[in-house]
């Protein structure tokens, strides 16, 4: 029996949990979990911020592996506390996670190791004038990024100089707290985005099905940035040739460089790409699985996921734990509360969850169970994920299920996967 503790409470974690319990002989614990996760895992009632308490729980209960879903506990050093107590962890150390937690670290690292990315300049708070001068001489659009973690809100793609100057004013003015004390100003990259997850033990790695996220709130990639309104995989933009380049020009030098820097990277390395005419460049790294890409990627995964993550955590990646990276296609449509990513209401009962068909999995994100009934409890509520033999079929199945599930103020995009389907027609 492999005892696994999963940290997190979102749609990504419900998907990781669902895939882990498909493995033989797994007993899953979750902290704090959500109503979807609670059906397949034993919920642990501990303070998620008290790392030593979590470590003690693992030691007392002979936990074999801890899988950390979100970036915040990794940035706060949970992996380091657990590892120092001899517990296997699938997540990078705090110092390796700097690839996500500091944009400046990531850019300087990529520059040093010749990893393709947008040209950039970095400025700190004392260099506001120099940053303004640099922007005045930059081509438009220009991209301004706060250095630290800012819940996906620290990136401004400015189409006018005025907007760019206002962005640095706000960042240096403290609107992102200490995350904005340093900024990166970078060149705008043309192309189409894709996300690739590499599962790694620090030196060896395997990639999962390439996916595409839909970050904007409105159809046609318009409106505000969100945590992600849907995803699909495998993404046709990532051809076998592009994937080879991603491995040789990005993933291999990243893992090698991180080891050389003294921060060996163990866990899931999320590579956010901009692909232009078959050439991939890094937009961002994340130190964890993506949300909602994971909902699509793991729904097509065929293999022993628990063994894959456990072997990586132990430093002996077992690539044969994967039978097929993708069995068919998957589309995940996020059902959100109207008003998200700004103000929205919650507390509405969700109906139709019992009526969905076999080829659809509904992952819980912002839900709450009251007297056996599921209610909305967040901006992103559910990830309705459907399989299909083609991308189009998975999309059709997903939207059929979306029509069956009801709650007040339900909002979703109607064009998830459309960009990928264009390639096949």
Determine how β-strand 120-124 pairs with β-strand 216-218. Answer: unpaired
Least separation in angstroms between residue 102's CB and ligand GLY is: 15
CB of 69: closest distance to ligand AMP in angstroms? 18
Per partner kind, with CB cut-offs from 5 to 8 A, the member of ligand AMP, ligand GLY, none near residue 293 is ligand GLY
The nearest distance, CB 415 to ligand AMP, in angstroms, is: 16
Residue nearest to ligand GLY (CB): 290
Q: Which among 288, 295, 322, 293 has a CA at the least distance from the CA of 307?
A: 322
Other CB atoms within 10 Å distance of the CB of residue 82: 25
- Compute CA distances 266 → 89, 255, 256, whole Å: 9, 9, 12
**Quick one: 214 or 375, whose CB is closer to ligand GLY?**
214
CB of 284 to ligand AMP, least distance (A): 4
Q: List Cα–Cα distances, 82 to 26, 73, 79, 193, in angstroms.
A: 20, 12, 5, 35
| Residues within window 345-384 making contact with ligand AMP, judged by CB under 6 A | none
Q: What is the maximal distance between C-alpha atoms in the chain?
A: 61
CB of 394 to ligand AMP, least distance (A): 23
33 contact choice in ligand AMP, ligand GLY, none (CB below 5 to 8 Å, kind-dependent): none
SS3 183: strand
Long-range CB pairs of 211-220 (<8 Å, 24+ gap) are 211/235, 211/290, 211/293, 211/296, 211/297, 212/237, 212/293, 212/419, 212/420, 213/290, 213/292, 213/293, 214/413, 214/415, 214/416, 215/152, 217/340, 217/341, 217/413, 218/413, 219/413, 219/414, 219/415, 220/415
Name which of 139 and 358 has its Cβ closer to ligand AMP. Answer: 139
What tokens were used for 340?
């998200």
Query: Given the rule CB under 6 A, which of 54-62, 149-157, 175-183, 369-377 is the region that contacts ligand AMP?
Result: 149-157
Q: Which stretch binds ligand AMP (CB under 6 A): 174-182, 185-193, 236-244, 258-266?
A: 185-193
**Residue 155 lies near ligand AMP (rule: CB under 6 A):** yes
Q: What is the smallest separation between the CB atom of 293 and ligand GLY, expressed in angstroms?
A: 6
Distance separating alpha carbons of residues 8 and 65, to the nearest angstrom: 15
| Sign of the torsion formed by the C-alpha atoms of 200, 204, 210 and 216 | positive
The footprint of ligand GLY (CB under 6 A) covers 213, 228, 286, 290-291, 293
Host H or E run for residue 6: strand 2-8
Residue 157 interacts with ligand AMP (CB under 6 A): yes or no = yes
By a kind-dependent CB cut-off of 5 to 8 A, residue 395 interacts, out of ligand GLY, ligand AMP, none, with: none
Q: Which of 13, 100, 147, 193 binds ligand AMP (CB under 6 A)?
A: 193
Is residue 188 close enough to count as binding ligand AMP by CB under 6 A? yes
Based on the shown chain and the rule CB under 6 A, indicate whether residue 71 belongs to the binding site for ligand AMP. Answer: no
CB atoms within 10 A of CB 148: 18
Quote the least distance from Cβ 154 to ligand AMP, whole Å: 7
CA 173 to the chain's CA centroid:
28
Give the one residue of 82, 211, 283, 353 binding ligand AMP; rule: CB under 6 A: 283
Of the candidate residues 40, 43, 46, 118, the single one contacting ligand AMP (CB under 6 A): 118
Residue numbers of the site for ligand AMP (CB under 6 A)?
118, 143, 145, 152, 155, 157, 186, 188-189, 193, 215, 272, 283-284
């Amino acid at each position: 029996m492999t005892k696994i503790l999963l940290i997190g409470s979102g749609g990504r974690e419900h998907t990781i949990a669902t895939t882990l319990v498909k493995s033989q002989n797994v007993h899953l614990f979750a902290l704090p979990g959500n109503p979807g996760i609670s059906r397949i895992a034993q919920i642990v009632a501990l303070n998620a911020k008290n790392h030593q308490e979590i470590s003690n729980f693992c030691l007392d209960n002979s936990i074999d592996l801890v899988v950390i879903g979100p970036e915040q506990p990794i940035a706060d050093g949970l992996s380091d506390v657990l590892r120092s107590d001899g517990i296997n962890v699938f997540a990078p150390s705090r110092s390796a996670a700097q690839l996500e937690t500091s944009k400046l670290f990531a850019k300087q690292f990529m520059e040093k190791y010749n990893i393709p990315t947008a040209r950039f300049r970095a400025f700190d708070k004392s260099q506001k004038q120099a940053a303004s001068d640099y922007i005045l001489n930059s081509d438009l659009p220009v991209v301004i990024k706060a250095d630290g973690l800012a819940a996906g809100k620290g990136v401004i793609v400015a189409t006018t100089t005025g907007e760019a100057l206002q962005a640095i004013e706000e960042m240096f003015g403290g609107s992102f707290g200490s995350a904005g004390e340093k900024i990166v100003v970078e060149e705008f990259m043309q192309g189409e985005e894709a996300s690739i997850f590499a599962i790694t033990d620090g030196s060896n790695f395997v990639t999962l099905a390439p996916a595409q996220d839909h970050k904007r709130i409105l159809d046609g990639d318009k409106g505000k940035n969100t945590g992600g309104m849907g995803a699909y995989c495998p993404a046709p933009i990532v051809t076998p040739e592009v994937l080879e380049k991603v491995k040789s020009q990005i993933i291999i030098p990243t893992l090698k460089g991180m080891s050389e820097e003294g921060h060996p990277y163990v866990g899931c390395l999320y590579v956010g790409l901009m692909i232009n005419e078959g050439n991939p460049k890094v937009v961002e790294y994340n130190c964890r699985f993506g949300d909602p890409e994971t909902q699509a990627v793991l729904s097509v995964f065929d293999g022993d996921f628990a063994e894959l993550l456990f072997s990586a955590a132990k430093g002996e990646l077992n690539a044969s734990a994967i039978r097929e990276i993708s069995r068919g296609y998957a589309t995940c449509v996020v059902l959100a509360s109207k008003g998200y990513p700004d103000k929205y209401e919650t507390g509405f009962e969700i109906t139709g969850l019992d009526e969905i068909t076999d080829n659809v999995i509904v992952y819980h994100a912002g839900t709450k169970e009251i007297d056996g009934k599921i209610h909305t409890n967040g901006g992103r509520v559910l990830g309705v994920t459907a399989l299909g033999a083609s991308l189009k079929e998975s999309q059709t199945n997903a939207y059929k299920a979306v029509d069956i599930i009801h709650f007040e103020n339900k909002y979703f995009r109607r064009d998830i996967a459309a960009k990928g389907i264009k390639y096949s027609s």
